[in-house]
């Protein structure tokens, strides 16, 4: 079996990992440390993408809750009444309406109040 010289392939693979570690701190310019750091960073990024969805949902709910309480209703009662009224707006949109269109949000709360 012929001998395989791996210089080019190995160097290309190492350089790929090292380029992903660009901007990391100094000792990460060695291949092994760079690869470990990149793998950990990618794990954190994957986890962060899922956490961001949770965090935004919590923020939207907090905003809707604050706006509905100012109008004399709780969040849970409001969401339940919207469902009964057949209004299918997601929490992101409800939050935006509460921030930018207080009058329109008050009308939504009044409409929901009829279906409590």
User: What domains can be seen in the chain, in order of their start residue?
Assistant: 7-113 (1.10.1900.20)
Percent of the chain with pLDDT over 70: 98
* pLDDT, tens digit, 9 for 90 and up, residues 12-39: 999 999 999 988 887 667 889 999 999 9
| Position 111 confidence tier, pLDDT thresholds 50, 70, 90 | very high
- pLDDT at res. 116: 85
Average pLDDT along the chain: 94
| For residues 45-58, average pLDDT | 98
**What's CA 3's distance to the chain center, in Å?**
50
């Amino acid at each position: 079996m012929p001998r395989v010289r791996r210089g080019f392939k190995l160097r290309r693979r190492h350089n790929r990992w090292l380029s992903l570690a660009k901007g990391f701190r100094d000792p990460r310019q060695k291949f092994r440390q760079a690869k470990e750091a990149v793998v950990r960073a990618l794990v954190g990024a994957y986890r962060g993408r899922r956490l961001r969805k949770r965090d935004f949902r919590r923020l939207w709910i907090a905003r809707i809750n604050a706006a509905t309480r100012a109008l004399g209703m709780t969040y849970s009662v409001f969401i339940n009444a919207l469902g009964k009224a057949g209004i299918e707006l997601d929490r992101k949109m409800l939050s935006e309406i509460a921030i930018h269109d207080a009058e329109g949000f008050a009308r939504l709360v009044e409409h929901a109040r009829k279906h409590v």
